[in-house]
Amino acid sequence: MIRLTRSQLQIRAKDRPLGYLEDILAAASRIDGNEIFLTPEAHQALVDKYRGAVPREPRGFELAQNFAGAMARFVAAGVPVLTAEEYAAREAACRACIHPRDGQPTWEEAAYFGLGKCRACGCSRLKRWMRTERCRLDRWPELP
């Protein structure tokens, strides 16, 4: 049996497509309070279903939580920013990124009052400067 807690699932669900949590609960062989139990076969079927799935775009309160977490990591690390060259590489990656779900560019230049926005993760131009942050779709080049 594979045992998961509801809190583990809620954390995982943030980076999964809509319906992920419902699929887990539907596949559960047993739910005991805060614990969800899956057979190895049901677990493998869900892993196969969601492997390579495109994460959903965060909205509302989740965006605010993500921003607060990014700022906390950034400040805790001493406010490390990228060089102009590193930033330019991230910017180029964002501009070239095509959303896996609809084949359209992910970057919306005019969003967030001109700060721009990624439709895949909700990040803005501000996040690109933060050395502590990574692209949710793993599109940014590795930093030295």
Residue 41, pLDDT score: 92
Residue 91, pLDDT score: 94
Residue 54, pLDDT score: 67
Residue 14, pLDDT score: 72
Tokens of 125: 């131009």
> What is the C-alpha separation between 139 and 119, in angstroms, rounded?
13
The beta-strand segments (E) located in the chain are: 2-5, 30-32, 35-38, 107-108, 117-118
Which parts of the chain sit beneath pLDDT 70?
15, 52-55
pLDDT, tens digit (0-9, with 9 covering 90-100), for 97-124: 888 777 889 899 998 888 899 988 888 9
Residue spans of the domains in the chain: they are: 2-50, 60-129
